[in-house]
Amino acid sequence: MAGQIFELNEHESGGIITQNNRAMLRQTLGNHTDAETYYNAALTLAENSKVMREKSNNYQRMMANLAFMHQEKGDYQKAESIYLDILEQKRKQLKSKNADYAHILNNLAALYLLMNKNELARQNLKEALSVFEQKLGDEHPAYAHSLQNTGIYYRITGEYEQANVALNKCLALKKNIYGAQHPEYTETLEQQAIVQWLKGETLAAQDMYQKVLNAELEYIQNFMPAMSEAEKSRYWARNRQKFNRYYALLAQNDQVDQTILQTVLTYQGQTKALLMNVSDKIRSLILSSDDIQLLHLYHNWVDTKELLMQYYGLSKEELAEQKVNLDSLKRKSEDFERQLSENSDLFNTAIDDQKKIADATLLATELKSNEVLVEFIRIEPEATLNMNTASYLALVLHTNESIDHVNWKNGDDMDGKYYKYYLNAIINYIEDDISYGVYWKKLDEAIGSADRIYLVADGIYHQINPLTFKKPTSGYRIEDHKIVHLTNNKDLMKQGSDQKLNSALIIGNPAFGNSEITPLPGTANETRAINSTLKSNGCYTTLLQGGEATEAALRLYEDNNIIHVATHGFFIRDTGNKQAAAFGIQPEYMVDNPLLRSGLLMAGAGETMENYDPMMRNSATNGIVTSYEILNLNFPKTKMVVLSACETGLGEIRSGEGVYGLQRAFQVAGVPQLVMSLWKVDDNATEQLMKND
């Protein structure tokens, strides 16, 4: 149980409580790095204060909060060490055990459950319950928390009836204390659902889980849009397992009620839309606003992000030398972003739009008779409880509103060895008789005769193209299907609204300024041909090549309906062994932010990479355009971006969120349609494809 109450007011604390509360807020949002910074700041203040000594209850409570944060991070040894130190101090100080002592026992028991030290957990829980009952009574929230951990202990040890007893008692207490919609209540209800699931009572488990997820979805809808992009991602990483475990439950059953499958489709649409579309909506509303103060705040945010991008090129030693606090600058950026999101009128408009439910009935009305919607869901290993491998679930929606579901239980192999085989076959032009059977064969019966598939990818399905699969008889899937990729299933509602495209920016064959970067003469022919074709169709075009094919051009001509960029793309998969900056970015920052690991090379990029000095060259004009920079641009009139470059569709895949790379960057920046590549491609082959397609 984290976040214990302090026994002094803010005026007396000298800022200690403020730092502790800031830490708790960051921890709740999943930002453990900042949380640890604030906890340590609070502890330092306490050590130097006259009101809070190291052996005081309040100091020990802060240490317990820090231990709980380490527990959430997975640093179990550090958390255990802190808890044991606190207990040792309390045993020396106390004549009789009190509630604070029991709190530490309860937290330590929860930690021991995670560490598979079940007997130690049992001993601590038994003692904690006894102390809570004596000191606080058996209707106190602290007693309820300890009951929940007791139920989890019995579930882990396979004693399901005892688990039911403890969890039922806990549910009754929490309902009385908090109410049935409170996160504390639904947390226990989920634990009860897991027990029912393990007992084989799947219908009861499904019913409980739907109550849990409905409450969670309402919470997400109300609070997530006010978060910054980074906070959203961290919050979702912390909470998505509730949805994941429910999907894992469904994936174990061959027969699932249609109503439940429809509910899952709605959950997927709502959560993915909130992760992506609210930011795009709020940004568009800001830029079309006549609120001078709001626009000023927006431009301050953009300037801060640009400054951050410049500092990402400095090492920690260089930052220290120039007295730059990068963490403080990142917090300032997130504060600006949060203030923009919290603007009441824009916030409410965006929220009302995203709360509109696109259920199976509504989605089905958008499908024609020859079309289906396919939604993939990757289920992580930790969600399956009794399995040690990832799995996949696909939902196939038909025009009559019926939904088929298809399961794959070998997710680790699909993500690993089979993907390596598929990629090797693509790169080396090897005939592939395996991938269709691994990734698609199960779907064929559900898809039936449909020739147009709206596909919402997850996991490895972001990295493969089903149209490349060889059919069992002869030919390839591309001969039978047209696949339209959607970010989330709610985007199906936006299909079919054809608009005239009358302006285009075409960029190709940049003058990189360095012989080490392979020139792309084929892109000169490619972009000239595309320019000619578009002009002949009445489109106003701007063609930029050589030294004019700059990063600044993307910003200057962002109002074009079509943007076609033919250049080198990059994606850095692993930064673990890199010692020096890559593409002008220090490797330690790439680890934390995957949007810094992908991008495009424009005119001047070679010179920047050869003689990089981040303080002498503006990140907006250095020829290296990262996904992080594109995310901060705005393309209000752009309907399509074509990235005729290698590996532009790659990035860090996060289950339930999508690909963190150029794809996400352009989408958040407002671009509805993208054409990208998953592999390294030949310059001449790309030229022929783009000229003739």
Cα–Cα distance for residue pair 36/42, rounded to 1 Å: 10
- Region class of 310: left (phi > 0), else alpha (psi between -120 and 50), else beta: alpha
Identify which of 3-17, 210-224, 415-429, 668-682 has the greatest average pLDDT. Answer: 415-429
Identify the weakest region by mean pLDDT among 6-20, 91-105, 392-406, 516-530: 6-20
Choice between 194 and 473, residue whose per-residue pLDDT is larger: 194
- Region class of 503: left (phi > 0), else alpha (psi between -120 and 50), else beta: beta
Q: 511-566, pLDDT tens digit by residue?
A: 988 777 888 888 888 899 899 989 988 899 999 999 999 888 888 888 889 999 98
Choice between 266 and 10, residue whose per-residue pLDDT is larger: 266
Q: What is the DSSP letter of 25?
A: H
Task: Find, among 154, 60, 156, the residue nearest to 103 by Cα.
Answer: 60
The whole-number average pLDDT for the span 191-206 is 89
**Contact yes or no for 372/402 (Cβ under 8 A):** no
The number of beta carbons lying within 10 Å of the beta carbon of residue 324 is 15
How does residue 247 score in pLDDT terms, banded at 50, 70 and 90? confident
**Contact yes or no for 443/406 (Cβ under 8 A):** yes
Tell me the β-bridge partners of 658: 654
End-to-end distance of the chain based on CA atoms, in angstroms?
Answer: 60
Cα–Cα distance for residue pair 458/414, rounded to 1 Å: 12
Q: Which tokens in the block code for residue 115?
A: 């560490």
Identify the weakest region by mean pLDDT among 43-57, 190-204, 206-220, 539-553: 43-57
Q: Which CATH number fits domain 10-219: 1.25.40.10, 1.20.1070.10, 1.10.10.10, 2.60.120.10?
A: 1.25.40.10
Instruction: Please tell me the predicted confidence (pLDDT) of residue 9.
Output: 47
Q: 624-657, pLDDT tens digit by residue?
A: 888 888 888 888 888 889 988 766 665 665 555 5
Q: Which tokens in the block code for residue 676?
A: 């990208």
**Contact yes or no for 452/399 (Cβ under 8 A):** no
CA distances in angstroms from 279 to 171, 216, 225, 468, listed in the order given: 36, 20, 7, 34
Task: Find, among 44, 155, 145, the residue nearest to 104 by Cα.
Answer: 145
Cα–Cα distance for residue pair 271/671, rounded to 1 Å: 20
Please list, residue by residue across 440-449, b when 16 or more beta carbons sit within 10 angstroms of its beta carbon and e when fewer do.
Answer: beebeebbee
**Contact yes or no for 167/124 (Cβ under 8 A):** no
Q: Which tokens in the block code for residue 661?
A: 């790379």
The whole-number average pLDDT for the span 383-405 is 85
How does residue 612 score in pLDDT terms, banded at 50, 70 and 90? low
Q: Which amino acid is at 240?
A: R
The whole-number average pLDDT for the span 39-43 is 86
**Contact yes or no for 231/652 (Cβ under 8 A):** no
Identify the weakest region by mean pLDDT among 345-354, 377-386, 471-480: 345-354
The whole-number average pLDDT for the span 283-306 is 76
Q: Which residues contact 316 (CB under 8 A, 6 or more apart)?
A: 586, 588
Cα–Cα distance for residue pair 629/385, rounded to 1 Å: 40
Instruction: Please tell me the predicted confidence (pLDDT) of residue 5.
Output: 44
Identify the weakest region by mean pLDDT among 208-217, 340-349, 411-420: 340-349
Measured in degrees and rounded to the nearest 5, phi and psi for residue 654 equal: -120, 120
Instruction: Please tell me the predicted confidence (pLDDT) of residue 623.
Output: 85
Instruction: Please tell me the predicted confidence (pLDDT) of residue 474.
Output: 78
* 3-class DSSP state of 309: helix
pTM for the full predicted model = 0.77
- List helix spans (H) across 370-494: 411-415, 417-427, 435-439, 441-447
The whole-number average pLDDT for the span 14-25 is 78
Q: What is the DSSP letter of 451?
A: -
Q: Which tokens in the block code for residue 209?
A: 């889980």
Identify which of 147-161, 289-303, 354-368, 523-537 has the greatest average pLDDT. Answer: 147-161
CA distances in angstroms from 621 to 528, 557, 608, listed in the order given: 24, 15, 10
> Percent of the chain having pLDDT more than 90?
28
Instruction: Please tell me the predicted confidence (pLDDT) of residue 146.
Output: 94
How does residue 402 score in pLDDT terms, banded at 50, 70 and 90? very high
Measured in degrees and rounded to the nearest 5, phi and psi for residue 203 equal: -65, -45
Q: What is the Cα Rg of the chain in Å?
A: 27
Q: Which tokens in the block code for residue 488?
A: 């989330």
Choice between 70 and 13, residue whose per-residue pLDDT is larger: 70
Instruction: Find the helix or strand (DSSP H, E) in which 330 lies.
Output: helix 326-341
Report the mean per-residue pLDDT for the chain.
81
Cα–Cα distance for residue pair 168/68, rounded to 1 Å: 26
Domain boundaries, the chain: 10-219, 220-353, 360-494, 503-692
Instruction: Please tell me the predicted confidence (pLDDT) of residue 616.
Output: 47
Instruction: Please tell me the predicted confidence (pLDDT) of residue 150.
Output: 96
Instruction: Please tell me the predicted confidence (pLDDT) of residue 271.
Output: 81
How does residue 620 score in pLDDT terms, banded at 50, 70 and 90? low
**Contact yes or no for 465/416 (Cβ under 8 A):** no
**Strand ranges of the sheet holding 371-379, from the earlier edge strand across to the other edge:** 403-408, 391-397, 371-379, 452-456, 482-486
Task: Find, among 399, 374, 401, the residue nearest to 483 by Cα.
Answer: 374
Q: Which residues contact 13 (CB under 8 A, 6 or more apart)?
A: 6, 49, 51, 52
How does residue 113 score in pLDDT terms, banded at 50, 70 and 90? very high
Q: 208-241, pLDDT tens digit by residue?
A: 998 999 888 887 776 666 666 667 777 777 778 8
